[in-house]
Amino acid sequence: MNPGSFYGKIGFIGTGVMGRSMAGHLLSAGCALRVFNRTRAKAEDLLRRGAVWCDTPAAVAAACDVVFTIVGFPKDVEEVYLGTQGLVAHTRPGAVLVDMTTSSPELAQRIATAAAARGVQALDAPVTGGDTGAREATLTILVGGEEAAVARVRPLLTLLGKKIVRLGPAGAGQHAKLANQIAIAGAIQGVCEALAYAQRMGLDAAALLEAIDSGAAGSWQLRTCGPRMLANDFAPGFFVKHFVKDMTLAQEAAARAGLDLPALQLALARYARLAGTGGAELGTQGLFREYS
């Protein structure tokens, strides 16, 4: 099946590190793609491949039957969806809006309610897998929203990721992604501390990584970020500034629920300090700088 012929025009807003690859997969599958990004230059590769530029989110909404978004922060999501030139006010009835940004669960619920009032279905569908997962279409997609809407867009989601899991109603996808970030926060901090300890004790830290990866200490963070830490390779696959945003959202949600998460609090404090001392644009493995 050619997804473009089945769905009509597809919109994609946010063509940064992750979004550019994701939108490219839709183009490769034959979708008729409309795109918008605050910086047009970041969409030029997609335009050369046949995507059509729109000047505003409203223009994307007016032209498309399904719109995907992956932007930076909750304030960006709110503007793109609920602003005067946003998607909800201008999307045609019967369309589906899919936000893949890691954002606020409460905002996802507000968007879904506002969209439903206009006869539009909205899903919160944040992703995990980083820039590599986006390039290789191996993302895990965590979805909140109506089952019928998920079923409608599932063939498109399978072009972007290998695992698509609906966790519940609107907001559930965001809660699931925040839980994922809490797990990562502890794991990556553990890798940093293990390597700092190994180096201080005079061990060959690279040999240690290889030795312990096949045991209970093995993890994606150990295997992927550990070697980058030792090489002082802090290029971003996922920005520190975005991880701070995600952990802040998780901490705020936990506090509202009366839940104490000390490991999350410690990781957030360390990452916030890193961001505040010039590390905001580093990859998350840049936390290792705090231990050197």
Quick check: is 163 catalytic?
Answer: no
Q: Which of 105, 267, 107, 96 is nearest to 191 (CA)?
A: 267
Which one of 9, 163, 177, 245 is the catalytic residue? Answer: 177
Query: CA 182 to CA 273: how far, in whole Å?
Result: 18
Residue-by-residue DSSP string for 203-218: --HHHHHHHHTTSTT-
Q: Which of 247, 243, 272 is nearest to 130 (CA)?
A: 243
User: Across-strand partners of 127?
Assistant: 141
Cβ atoms within 10 A of the Cβ of 123, count?
27
Alpha helices in 64-202 (DSSP H): 74-82, 87-90, 105-117, 130-136, 147-157, 172-200
> For residue 141, how many C-alpha atoms fall within 13 Å in the half-sphere facing its CB?
27
Answer yes or no: are the C-beta atoms of 229 and 191 closer than 8 Å.
yes
Strands 52-53, 32-36: pairing is parallel
Strands 139-144, 127-128: pairing is antiparallel
**Distances 139 to 133, 142, 158, 240 between C-alpha atoms, Å:** 5, 10, 9, 20
Please state the φ and ψ torsions of residue 73, each to the nearest 5 degrees: -130, 165
Query: CA 128 to CA 137: how far, in whole Å?
Result: 11
Q: Which of 76, 90, 103 is nearest to 14 (CA)?
A: 76
Query: CA 270 to CA 272: how far, in whole Å?
Result: 5
Q: Catalytic residues, which ones?
A: 177
